[in-house]
Amino acid sequence: MQDNLKKTSAIYWASGIVSICGIIFEVLFGAAGSYILGDGVKQYTLTISLFLTGMGIGAVISEKVTRNLILSFVWIEYLIAIIGGFSTFILFGVTAYLSAGTDAFFLYSITLIVGTLTGVELPILIRKANEIGETLNRSAARVLFSDYAGGLIGGMLFVYILRPQFGLVKTAFVVALINICVAIWLLVQFKNDIKNWKIHGVLGGVIFTVILAGVFFGEEMAFKFEQKLYRDPIVYSEQTNYQKIVLTKEQGDLRLFLDGQLQFSSTDEYRYHETLVHPAVSLTDKPSKVLILGGGDGLAIRELKKYDNIESITVVDLDPRMIELSKTHHDIVKLNNHAFNTDHVMIETKDAFNFLKENSSIYNVILIDLPDPNNESLNKLYTLEFYQLVRNHLAPGGTVMVQATSPTFATEVYWSIDKTVKATGLKTENLHVDIPSFGDWGFILAKREDFNIEDVKIKADTRFITNDLVQAMTYFGKDIDLENDNGTNLEINTLINPILIEKYTKAWQHY
């Protein structure tokens, strides 16, 4: 009787732990898809759907498993460990060396396979608990409770510990080790019921050793795969709580990538940042108080420090690690000219939308230097609701400058952003500039009052922008000028109707 209670307890503990591993693999695949394939909402939706579908298939397959239930469970865990453990490692290799589309096929296939194996686990454990003497109602209820509770724990572990501390590749190997440990532990608990259990244990030990090697060496090898995704050598790489930060450098060209998207190249970033900063400042009579939404690299601050009449600069960036890197990494510090080393720069590590909702300050100049709207969280920062908050924080006579992606490569996206800004009552002027590392790039200048672009009189020392050039930036070719489209294909982007994500993805998938 006591032995049966011990075995039953072991089954419940095993079900909880493997459930934790299952949910971690599930969200891990979503995170990997988001990083490599883009469009996080789409990737999480597909991977979670495929994983759950796989679990359903696995539940059906489990009906065929009628003998040697514990041994079957052990080998299922071994398979999950091997396939899941090497999943992200191989995914980076597939992305680096095989043709486009193969990475998506591989990811979705692995998700379905691991989901199917996960779906076989719990029915087997329920039936084993029932064999030992538990009633079906009791065994099913307790195993399912362990499963659901384990799902919560697994999700929290991934978000707060595994992903930020270990990254995608090492996390997969670490979780695989747990699967193997559970399998071997349960094998020992039921050793009297399993013929040649030591052989199965030794084989598990061999798999454990291989996976352990992956923990120590897999990330280094995957780094070589990741290097293939970038043109230049990677000099810095970090997975933070919010994004993957990568710096590359070749022949003096420093490039920053966030989640695989280029943010700047040191060879021409001054073209971007001078356009972002100087027209807005010059159109503001007293630009004493400046707000930068985004701009954690400090390059916009560098341009603002050229003005003696600016008294305070507030930078709102979600990721504190990006700020820290911009303060300490010698290449970025050299590029931003020690931008954060001044008393009148204040830093807020918050979501820009929430900052505007919670803050009541008024600013003379607002610079919106945010990544493109390629997912739900970023799309929120290009909505009517967001620009209404921006307007409410803008002082009379103040000026807003918005980076608004490329009017050439994402024409409808650019003009939809312009229409959304105008819907707040702000007056706008459209600018675009050639930035070699980006191509043709668009900006939207906005004020509460009517204004004339000819009033731009830049007095700061610049490398690129001139007063005459600003006037030239307002001219668009007939093939990309949708300002007089009368709204035929343009919509206002809102929280309820986030039209930019689909437009953005469709526009850039050809480049």
Contact assessment for residue 214 and residue 179, using Cβ atoms and an 8 Å cutoff? no
- Give 295-348 as a 3 state SS string: CCCCHHHHHHCCCCCCCEEEEECCCHHHHHHHHHCHHHHHHHCCCCCCCCEEEE
Contact assessment for residue 39 and residue 501, using Cβ atoms and an 8 Å cutoff? yes
Residue type, 295: G
C-alpha 278: how far from chain center: 31
Torsion, CA 104, CA 110, CA 115, CA 117, rounded to 10: 170
| 369 in active site | yes
Q: Six-digit token pair at 260? A: 């695989």
DSSP letter (8 states) at residue 250: E
Q: What is the β-pairing status of strands 439-447 and 427-435?
A: antiparallel
The SS3 call for residue 263 is strand
H/E stretch holding 401 reads strand 394-403
Q: How far apart are CA 85 and CA 214, in angstroms?
A: 8
Q: How far apart are CA 142 and CA 200, in angstroms?
A: 28
H/E stretch holding 234 reads strand 234-239
End-to-end CA distance of the chain: 67
Q: Which of 297, 369, 372, 418 is catalytic?
A: 369
Q: How far apart are CA 2 and CA 5, in angstroms?
A: 5
Residue with structure tokens 């509770």? Answer: 149
How many secondary structure helices (H) and strands (E) does the chain include? 18, 11
H/E stretch holding 244 reads strand 244-250
The residues annotated with a catalytic role in the active site are 369
